[in-house]
Structure 1
Amino acid sequence: MGNALGCAGLGERLAAGARDGDAAEVRRLLDANPGLARCAAFGSLSSPLHLAAAKGHHEIAALLLENGADVNGRNIYGQTALMQACRFGHWEVVQTLLLFRCNVSKADSLSGRTALHVAAAGGHVRCARLLLAGAGSGRSKLVNRAASGGGGGVTALHLAALHGHADCVHLLVDERADVAARTLPCAAPPMASVGAGSAPLHYAAAGGEVKCCQILVSRGADRAAVNCNGWLPVDVARTWGCHWLEHVLSPKSLLPIPRFPPSAYLSSPLASVITLARDCGLALNMSSLPMDTMDGGADDGDACAVCLERPCNVAAEVCGHELCVKCALDLCSVIRSYDAPGIAGTIPCPLCRSGIASFRRRAAAAEAEPGANAGDRQASSSPHKKRSTESDQDGLPLVCAPPAVMSS
């Protein structure tokens, strides 16, 4: 009995530390008893991993996962830690969970919604971007998955349109979400006021956001579609008091619909860098480690040009500039992509601004130039460093544009 009470007490302290972001306390408890990380809950509704994910403590989430916490474990409501992170928009926690190979397709027990539904409903476009990249070959199935049971058959696009999150709507339709998808032919409150069998445009009409409606119509949504109540999208807008949408939704409207470029949140290289990060064994607390413990060490000439701390271990395709995998992952998760035709979805290189469509693992300098000496290998370790050496000889320093980080 005494041991059981003692374990429960330690578990409650672990849960409190995970919730409050006390990394030192969590590390101390796990060092004493690593098995605490594998316990589901301690007198509460959620595990320490769920609590850390909900509060955005990605370092603590990584620490718990390294000690054996179940990345796909559910709380009392059938929700995973990934859903909790997406609910509050903690994209760094989503990164961590993806690196530990969480299942992005799991649905909760109450509404049948996935983490993508949760992210879309909250307008957390960075989380949605990561989820779609982490889905791999199942991306098209995930983006069009309908919530079963109490979810009423809504897709992530329905929820983003209803809540007026134009960036999420734009991303989802460009990721091939079905603009003609219908909800179930029966609807429970509060969605009964939209109507059963409704398309995303009906939900956008209820949400009242003009840009959401314009994006859907420009991508092929039918303004003459009727739901099971016989309502057009414009009828739903009138029911919800959104009369300013009539000029957009009326099937007889003569006003032109704007043309929208590809979404700036498409990220072509994100899937490749997630795979590389998994292969490299990236942990998000890596910055606390000395550089000589990672990938065999790094000298000053081999450090990442963005963070200046970690060694380069990935290279951008085409331009060949080298970064550490952590900086590459953060850039692909946060920075807006190019939206021009032909390079849509590519991420601007932080060193030369050329579009990056994918990353590859950095080739060892010794393999690239087996006959070169140590000085030559250091000078040729990346195109950026090589050009810098040539510029020094000419007396003209190379000036590189800083990375354009997207504002929150």
Structure 2
Amino acid sequence: MGQGPSCTANDDNGLFRAAKLGDLEILKIQIDADPSLLNQTTLYDRRSLLHIAAAHGQIDVLSWLLDRSMKPDLLNRHKQTPLMVAAMRGKISCVQKLLDAGANILMFDSLYGRTCLHYAAYNGHSDCLQAILSVARSSHVAVSWGYARFVNIRDRKGATPLHLAARQRQSDCVHILLGNGALVCCSTGGHGYPGSTPLHLAARGGSLDCVCELLAWGADRLHRDASGRIPYVVALKHKHGACAALLNPSSAEPLVWPSPLKFISELNPEAKLLLEQALMEANREREKSILKGMAYSILSPSTSDGGTDDDLSEASEAEQCCICFEQVCTIEVQDCGHRMCAHCTLALCCHSKPNPATGSLSAPVCPFCRSGIACLVVAKCIINDDDDNDFDISCPRLRRSRQSWNLSEGGSSSFKALSAVGSFSKMGAHGSGRTLSEEWTDKLDLN
């Protein structure tokens, strides 16, 4: 793929060898004697000392060179910057140092027209990806380009960082990019022409984690690429049977991240994590039923069942969700203080309907007091110890086994139906894995 810098460069030069090995003393002696050596590059690849130090993670050498007023955006033969090389190799300390020195994250190479964000995503270096995105959110890029535009930046072939991460089976990078505004149904085709979505490339790569993550964020199973193939056909062609089973349009539709949550101005990161876990847990039940009886199974740690029955005695004493009567309250509406479990919070948002008069979506409201939800946080559970003294703890993701509650004992049929996982699966648009809310949002964006 032409991702790595060439190894044919002349590293016999003592100066370049010192930069590669991190021998700062030799560098200081030679450059103090002849400062023009700072501008010397390798013969073929035209790599500078900064490129070599970044590629090999020599942070002391890199810092010293930058302190000598060496420009952080020097280009090699392929117009790659030291930041691109460091992101490619996963040298997070060098990436952070170059970013702190003002390295330009909007530089494009001459190989594929890719940026440092593409390189980090392609090679699966999630820490480098996070560092670049953090700088992009707070730098001039957010003002001049727009942060969302940068996250969805395309290379010469129309691929975004999300496309590359999905193709290379980098599920952690896929998760980070989706959480930062990457467009899940973005196509490589431009100007109205068909192209591949990240789901097509995940199907080609055969990563169950990437496929599940993309489906949970609303990826369209019926989108056709330039050859007219849906992701299901791509997975079959590359003999990824388990992925094909989940991508089959005739299989049950996944539960997707609901659009109304985007209207909440302040979604606490810990609360978001709990909601994401509840979403993936609900989808795992669907995936198990699809793969049941087949030769495939979900084996990755991120989709295992470990820990679902955490400390039941502790959970039984914690505050129980008054909607489903099955889960522990883990999410709290900050303004009114009412609490729900993560599953019921998702159900509440999935059931939010567009206003028929205006055709627009509205923010979800608390089911108990009907006040608007502006901020969701992690609930603090009150648990009674043996001495009947109350103390607060942060609620972990505790799941309680099914209790013997029934409707005659005070359970609300409407609330109970609201949080049933079975009802979740009926909320998507037919065959696409997208909720009604997602469809409305897309229509509004197009207008």
Shorter chain as denominator, the TM-score bin is: 0.5 to 0.7
Letter in 2 for 1:97: L
RMSD: 3.0
Which residue number corresponds to residue 202 of structure 2? 204
Paired residue secondary structure (1:254):
coil
Q: CA deviation at 1:228?
A: 1.7
Q: CA deviation at 1:256?
A: 4.8
Query: What per-residue deviation string (whole Å, max 9, x for no partner) do you get for residues 9-36 of structure 1?
Result: 9x93322211121122122223333342
Letter in 2 for 1:242: H
TM-score of the aligned structures, taking structure 2 as reference length: 0.52
Measured at CA, do residues 168 and 263 of structure 1 come closer, stay the same or move farther in structure 2, by a change above 3 Å?
A: farther
Q: CA deviation at 1:199?
A: 0.5
* Preserved CA contact (<8 Å) 2:218 2:256: no
Q: CA deviation at 1:236?
A: 0.6
Task: Please list every run of at least 4 consecutive aligned residues from structure 1 whose deviation after the TM superposition is greater than 6 angstroms.
Answer: 258-261
Measured at CA, do residues 140 and 34 of structure 1 come closer, stay the same or move farther in structure 2, by a change above 3 Å?
A: farther
Measured at CA, do residues 263 and 25 of structure 1 come closer, stay the same or move farther in structure 2, by a change above 3 Å?
A: farther
Which residue number corresponds to residue 169 of structure 1? 174
17-26 or 209-218, which moves further after superposition? 17-26
Paired residue secondary structure (1:253):
coil
Query: What per-residue deviation string (whole Å, max 9, x for no partner) do you get for residues 266-292 of structure 1?
Result: xxxxxxxxxxxxxxxxxxxxxxxxxxx
Matches within 5 A, 1:6-405: 12-37=13-38, 39-45=39-45, 46-135=47-136, 136=138, 137=142, 138-148=146-156, 152-184=157-189, 197-254=195-252, 256=254, 262=272, 342=377
Aligned residues: 250
* Preserved CA contact (<8 Å) 2:215 2:254: no
Letter in 2 for 1:174: G
Measured at CA, do residues 244 and 82 of structure 1 come closer, stay the same or move farther in structure 2, by a change above 3 Å?
A: same
Q: CA deviation at 1:235?
A: 0.6
Query: What per-residue deviation string (whole Å, max 9, x for no partner) do you get for residues 366-393 of structure 1?
Result: xxxxxxxxxxxxxxxxxxxxxxxxxxxx
Which residue number corresponds to residue 286 of structure 2? none
Query: Gapped runs of 5+ residues in structure 2?
Result: 1-9, 259-270, 275-374, 379-392, 395-447
TM-score of the aligned structures, taking structure 1 as reference length: 0.57
* Preserved CA contact (<8 Å) 1:234 1:250: yes
* Preserved CA contact (<8 Å) 2:217 2:256: no
Query: What per-residue deviation string (whole Å, max 9, x for no partner) do you get for residues 284-337 of structure 1?
Result: xxxxxxxxxxxxxxxxxxxxxxxxxxxxxxxxxxxxxxxxxxxxxxxxxxxxxx
In the aligned structure 1, how far is the partner of 2:22 from the partner of 2:107?
26
In the aligned structure 1, how far is the partner of 2:376 from the partner of 2:55?
38
* Preserved CA contact (<8 Å) 2:218 2:257: no
Measured at CA, do residues 118 and 196 of structure 1 come closer, stay the same or move farther in structure 2, by a change above 3 Å?
A: farther
In the aligned structure 1, how far is the partner of 2:86 from the partner of 2:166?
21
Q: CA deviation at 1:134?
A: 1.3
Letter in 2 for 1:213: V
In the aligned structure 2, how far is the partner of 1:58 from the partner of 1:196?
44
* Preserved CA contact (<8 Å) 2:22 2:53: yes
Letter in 1 for 2:165: A
Measured at CA, do residues 40 and 117 of structure 1 come closer, stay the same or move farther in structure 2, by a change above 3 Å?
A: farther
Measured at CA, do residues 209 and 258 of structure 1 come closer, stay the same or move farther in structure 2, by a change above 3 Å?
A: farther
Letter in 2 for 1:74: L
* Preserved CA contact (<8 Å) 2:185 2:198: yes
In the aligned structure 2, how far is the partner of 1:40 from the partner of 1:210?
47
Letter in 2 for 1:342: V
Letter in 2 for 1:184: G
Paired residue secondary structure (1:342):
strand
Measured at CA, do residues 18 and 145 of structure 1 come closer, stay the same or move farther in structure 2, by a change above 3 Å?
A: same
In the aligned structure 2, how far is the partner of 1:83 from the partner of 1:158?
18
200-209 or 25-34, which moves further after superposition? 25-34
In the aligned structure 2, how far is the partner of 1:103 from the partner of 1:229?
37
Larger radius of gyration: 2
* Preserved CA contact (<8 Å) 2:73 2:81: yes
In the aligned structure 2, how far is the partner of 1:126 from the partner of 1:262?
20
